[in-house]
Structure 1
């Protein structure tokens, strides 16, 4: 389930849920993927933007260790 909204009002350029504000980016995806993302977001009660944000925050960044 989604997190409840904070009691304070959302304002432009002020983070509401995270330590930084979101920025606009563009991606290219197929219509069927968009439909699946939309269905998933609706079932969670969140926006597609928030769905992508949550997915991205759970990604593990590969460590680049040097092999000597």
Structure 2
């Protein structure tokens, strides 16, 4: 399920959360990256958004 379906994001404008996302770097094995991409596609979100949702859910 896409949260922003049909809507274009605006640079430096928060959309889903109360703050603008900032770039960070993570490293994954090719297998893990493929699994993340498949899972994110099933959920209709980006890998970045899927990780964001997961960490907000598990961190409280």
Structure with the greater relative contact order (CA < 8 A, sep ≥ 6): 1 or 2?
A: 2
The structure whose residues are more often helix, as a share, is 2
Alignment size in residue pairs: 60
Normalization by structure 2: what TM-score?
0.82
Supply the RMSD in Å over aligned alpha carbons: 2.1
Normalization by structure 1: what TM-score?
0.73
Q: Which runs of 4+ in 1 moved over 4 A?
A: 6-9
Q: Which runs of 5+ in 1 are unaligned?
A: 62-68
**Pair member with larger Rg:** 1
